[in-house]
Amino acid sequence: MSRYHLLSALFCAAIFAACSSQDTDMSDSTLPDGPAAKKVPLELTEHGDTRVDNYFWMRLSDEQKNAETPDAQTQDVLDYLTAENDYIGAAMAHTEDLQEKLFNEIVGRIKKDDRSVPVRDRGYWYYTRYEEGKEYAINCRKPAQETKYEECTGAEEVMFDQNVMADGHDYFSMGGMSVSDDNNLVAFGVDTVSRRQYTVRFKNLSTGEVLPDEIPLTTGGATWAADNKTVFYTRKDPQTLRSFRVYRHVLGTPVEEDVLVYEETDETFSCGVYRSKSDAYLIIYTSQTLSQEYRVLEADNPTGEWRVVQPRERDLEYGISHYGDHFYVVTNLDAKNFRLMRTPVGATTKDNWEEVIPHRDDVLLEGIEIFKDYLVVEERKEGLNQLRITKWDGSMDEYLEFNDPAYTVGARSNPDFNTDILRFSYTSMTTPGSTYDHNMTTGERTLLKQQEVVDDNFAPENYTSERLMIEVRDGVKVPVSMVYRKGTERNGENPFLLYAYGSYGSSMDPYFSSVRLSLLDRGFVYAIAHIRGGQEMGRHWYEDGKLLKKQNTFNDFEDVGRAMVEMGYTAPDHLYAMGGSAGGLLMGAVMNQAPDLFNGVVAAVPFVDVVSTMLDETIPLTTFEWDEWGDPRDSVYYHYMKSYSPYDQVAAQKYPNTLVTTGYWDSQVQYWEPAKWVAKLRELKTDDNMLLFLTNMDAGHGGQSGRFRRYRETALEYAFMLNLEGIDG
């Protein structure tokens, strides 16, 4: 008997006392009721408005979750999550063969003994490789006497075999590695819980010895000063997980004696530390959604005094890069879409900034990459990335050209100032991820590596990509990137998966996915709706999808979905929606306002209890979020966010088939948000559609660790949709 069928049998006996023998076949269209969570009404009053939360009891503290013996409340929560896991196991048992087939397809397309493109830095080639049959990366380097890795004959040094390090852990993640200036020591972070709280350690690369220095509760990395013995690192608040203190540590000294060099006391800001590309400066940044502040210190003077570049101001955003006698500043100072300034290193306040690239209404300046003779600018125009290359002497100003209708391009891994080679990555909906070296002097472009799809039936020319502009209800045109297998007709019968995010100014750029082929090859059309709340169309695109304009995000997604139906790509009984985290909020909001539009919805780690979370400053990351969603201590924001909060707006109505996933150790969207949401949906929904909820008890926000294991959940999500389409193979 399979694991799922065993769960099905046990589940009917333990959970459904009245479950008859014919009900154990979960492939029938009618499912038994899911687990009914107990109701413990709690009145929550704010601004004279009272909400009754029947499931607030599901929230556990970290102390409760980490206790060796669960208390009564913890046991109730674990019992409920287990019952839901058993229920989805039973409900999806008949798709077990399909899930296994999908999983094998997905991992089968991934090259097992793969290797990243090496990056040359301080006399070494650094790269990551994978070995067949292993879940984790092996981090390596070789001495670099040659300018091309292919010509390098140096012996490989294995810095870390993460497979060995992960042994015995259900979850394993390595934080950022950083090597000392003399190439002898490496700092690294390890998280074995999935709370993104890393312990920093140090390794001697000459001897292989891991030093006794051990720094807990960090963001995952450490920044070296130029003396090869001093590092700076960032500590997290153990409760809120806010990065709020920067310390100085000298190797070989007690961690308890580390010197606090900066503390961010404003709870709406977080901070961190890094080193400039020039290696000349250590830089402490502190930031919130709408404001940043930087402090600098010469890297060869780690005990010196830090200097503020430009004091923080509300709504003033800026970032710095060092080159020669100047800092180059990307800023929104009098420039909604940002512009580039520069300022002498000895006079850095904004009254000393002089313009290098002016503001443009139709172009978003996203970042820069500085070289000795060239400046590379990353821009976005009409929703698409651009790479612009200029010479400092003004003799060249050009854009790299690409042919796909929708694509993603960006500068990658360029640690060397003294080169005319730009490393960049490129992908499109039909083009596998590709890494290029572009000679900025000659214009020669060299393909170093393209993602290998291990599938004899795959060829890019078998698929078609489109880019549409869909006019939504207020007259704005929303970009949509789409891909499907050639020969697909607009007959109104295609299964169609619509994905979006739409928050934090994060642009969801079109990219290739070998995983997605398992849907495309079964007739699905896949599309990304570049809705407001992202930044695809410029800074205004973000500002028009946040705070008191957040409803635009949900309306855009609904209107794009309806347009896909009207244009004949699909129909409501074949249309599916997917989003995760803030995209899960999107799923919940659209399910409430347009329950008839989708046949199925997949909401991954969904942020759905907006009001309660934004009111609770003890929850990790809450205070950073007020500039995104609003501060509900203000009645205007309270009532506005309540109007769309998925948990608060669940109603007695029909809902689409729904699959919800979460991680018990998630530090960004706590597990109890989706758990409460599912319980309330079960209580109030009036349909017989599937409502399935999976909690990964060993994972956090990013899901299961490991190179392949994570795709078990993807296979489940795909099987959920394929099953609704009646596709079983």
What are 301-347's pLDDT values in tens digits? 999 999 999 999 999 999 999 999 999 999 999 999 999 999 999 99
What's the mean pLDDT in 8-20?
33
- Tens digit of each residue's pLDDT (9 = 90 or more) over 215-227: 998 888 899 999 9
Q: Between 294 and 7, where is the model more confident?
A: 294
| pLDDT higher than threshold 90 for residue 447 | yes
pLDDT band per the 50, 70, 90 thresholds, residue 699: low
Q: Containing H/E element for 408?
A: strand 407-411
N residues, the chain? 729
Of 581, 612, 645, 667, catalytic: 581
What's the mean pLDDT in 641-652?
98
Q: Between 622 and 100, where is the model more confident?
A: 100
Known active-site residue 701: yes
Indicate the SS3 state at residue 171.
coil
pLDDT band per the 50, 70, 90 thresholds, residue 14: very low
Of 94, 322, 326, 701, catalytic: 701
Domain 170-308: give its CATH architecture: 7 Propeller (2.130)
| pLDDT higher than threshold 70 for residue 7 | no
| pLDDT higher than threshold 90 for residue 13 | no
pLDDT value for 462: 96
| pLDDT higher than threshold 90 for residue 289 | no
pLDDT value for 326: 97
What's the mean pLDDT in 338-362?
97
| pLDDT higher than threshold 60 for residue 9 | no
What is the residue type of 681?
L
**Which percentage of the chain shows pLDDT scores above 90?**
78
pLDDT value for 386: 95
What's the mean pLDDT in 221-234?
95
**Rounded distance, CA 291 to CA 714, Å?**
37
Residue 591 φ/ψ region, left for φ over 0, alpha for ψ in the -120 to 50 degree band, beta for the rest = alpha
3-state SS string for 495-517: CEEEECCCCCCCCCCCCCCCCCH
**Any bridge partners for residue 342, and if so which?**
328, 354
| pLDDT higher than threshold 50 for residue 694 | yes
pLDDT value for 392: 94
**Rounded distance, CA 65 to CA 50, Å?**
29
Residue ranges of domains in the chain: 3-108+456-724, 114-168, 170-308, 318-357
pLDDT band per the 50, 70, 90 thresholds, residue 4: very low
**Rounded distance, CA 601 to CA 342, Å?**
48
Q: Between 17 and 416, where is the model more confident?
A: 416
| pLDDT higher than threshold 70 for residue 6 | no
pLDDT value for 220: 84
Fold that domain 3-108+456-724 belongs to in CATH: Rossmann fold (3.40.50)
Residue 112 structure tokens: 């097992």
- Tens digit of each residue's pLDDT (9 = 90 or more) over 102-112: 999 999 998 88
pLDDT value for 536: 95
pLDDT value for 704: 53
| pLDDT higher than threshold 90 for residue 149 | no
* Whether 114 contacts 134, CB under 8 Å: no
**Any bridge partners for residue 308, and if so which?**
295
Known active-site residue 581: yes
**Rounded distance, CA 357 to CA 389, Å?**
12
What's the mean pLDDT in 588-612?
97
**Which percentage of the chain shows pLDDT scores above 70?**
94
| pLDDT higher than threshold 50 for residue 389 | yes
pLDDT band per the 50, 70, 90 thresholds, residue 388: very high
| pLDDT higher than threshold 70 for residue 8 | no
What's the mean pLDDT in 8-15?
34
pLDDT band per the 50, 70, 90 thresholds, residue 192: confident
pLDDT value for 12: 35
3-state SS string for 285-350: EEEECCEEEEEEEECCCCCCCCEECCCCCCCCCEEEEEECCEEEEEECCCCCCCEEEEEECCCCCH
Of 326, 509, 666, 705, catalytic: 666
What's the mean pLDDT in 206-220?
90
Q: Which of 26-30, 39-43, 169-173 has the lowest mean pLDDT?
A: 26-30
Average pLDDT, the chain: 91
pLDDT value for 436: 96
What's the mean pLDDT in 645-662?
98
Q: Do domains 3-108+456-724 and 170-308 have the same CATH topology?
A: no
Q: Which of 368, 399, 398, 369 is nearest to 384 (CA)?
A: 399
At what angle are helices 635-644 and 551-566 packed, to 10 degrees? 20
pLDDT value for 236: 87
Q: Measured between alpha carbons, how far apart are the two ends of the chain, in Å?
A: 21
What's the mean pLDDT in 245-250?
96
